């Protein structure tokens, strides 16, 4: 019984009459093993087991390619790389990482030159009329509570609004 797998031993001991001779043990073990292998072959065929397919279709003289990372020169210097301190400084001041100028970002560059920004608001260059300004102020005042309205009106009077 030492050469038989645990599952086969359990299957044989599960029979109504346990075999008493070595020949009958051999017969049952062989029969159950063949049944198990036949069932696995059918299951793998219907499921399409990738492991068996790989073994079936792989040529005998197949050599798997090995990945070799590209060689990097250990003496090469990163000339354009910013230090962590420079990077933090650029972020604080809002500087472009490409040309180191304020007011835009690196994505605004195209082929080394700065692309002029298009105004998204067509009314950005137009001056507001008095009526429009009054309407905006009235809307802002309408959002305030009574106490805040009084404070704002008093401040406007004091500053000559």
- Of the three residues 40, 57, 74, the one that is the final residue of a domain is 57
Q: What are the tokens at 45?
A: 């065929």
Quote the pLDDT of residue 68: 79
**For 110-153, what is each residue's pLDDT tens digit?**
776 777 666 666 666 778 888 888 888 888 888 889 999 899 88
Query: How many C-beta neighbours within 10 Å does residue 12 have?
Result: 19
12 plus 45 within the same structural domain: yes
Q: Look at residue 107 in the predicted model and tell me its pLDDT.
A: 81
Q: Is 65 helix (H, G, I), strand (E, B) or coil?
A: coil
Given a contact cutoff of 8 angstroms between Cβ atoms, the answer to whether 48 and 55 are in contact is no
Collapse the DSSP code of 113 into the 3-class scheme (helix H, G, I; strand E, B; otherwise coil) and give the result: strand
In a domain, 20, yes or no: yes
Do 110 and 136 fall into the same domain?
Answer: no
Q: Would you say residue 27 lies in a domain?
A: yes
Whether 77 is in a domain gets the answer no
Confirm if 97 and 82 have CB atoms less than 8 A apart. Answer: yes
Do 21 and 49 have their domain in common?
A: yes
90 contacts 84 by C-beta, under 8 angstroms? no
Q: Which of the residues in the chain have pLDDT under 50? A: none
Q: Check whether residue 50 and residue 20 sit in a common domain.
A: yes
Distance CA 11, CA 96 (A): 75
Question: Does residue 76 form part of some domain?
Answer: no
Domain count, the chain: 3
Q: Is residue 73 part of a domain?
A: no
Pair (108, 140) in one structural domain? no
Distance CA(130)–CA(61), nearest Å, equals 87
Confirm whether 143 is domain-assigned. yes
Verify that 10 and 52 share a domain, yes or no. Answer: yes
Provide the whole-model pTM. 0.29
Please indicate, yes or no, if residue 160 is contained in any of the structural domains: yes
Task: Examine residue 49 and state whether it is found in any structural domain, yes or no.
Answer: yes
Same domain membership, residue 135 and residue 93: no
Between CA 113 and CA 97 the distance in angstroms is 13
Helix, strand, coil in percent for the chain, rounding step 5: 50, 5, 45
- Domain around 14: 6-57
pLDDT at residue 106 in the model: 80
Both 15 and 46 in one domain: the answer is yes
């Amino acid at each position: 019984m030492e050469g038989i797998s645990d599952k086969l031993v359990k299957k044989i001991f599960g029979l109504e009459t346990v075999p008493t001779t070595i020949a009958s043990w051999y017969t049952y073990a062989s029969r159950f093993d063949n049944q198990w292998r036949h069932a696995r072959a059918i299951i793998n065929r219907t499921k399409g087991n990738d492991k068996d397919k790989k073994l079936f279709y792989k040529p005998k003289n197949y050599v798997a390619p090995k990945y070799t990372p590209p060689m990097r020169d250990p003496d090469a210097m990163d000339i354009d790389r910013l230090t962590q301190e420079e990077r933090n400084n650029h972020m604080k001041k809002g500087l472009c990482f490409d040309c180191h100028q304020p007011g835009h970002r690196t994505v605004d560059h195209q082929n080394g030159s700065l692309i002029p920004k298009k105004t998204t608001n067509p009314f950005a260059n137009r001056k507001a009329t008095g009526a429009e300004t009054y309407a905006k102020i009235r809307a802002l005042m309408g959002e305030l509570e009574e106490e805040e309205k009084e404070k704002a009106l008093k401040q406007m009077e004091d500053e000559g609004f």
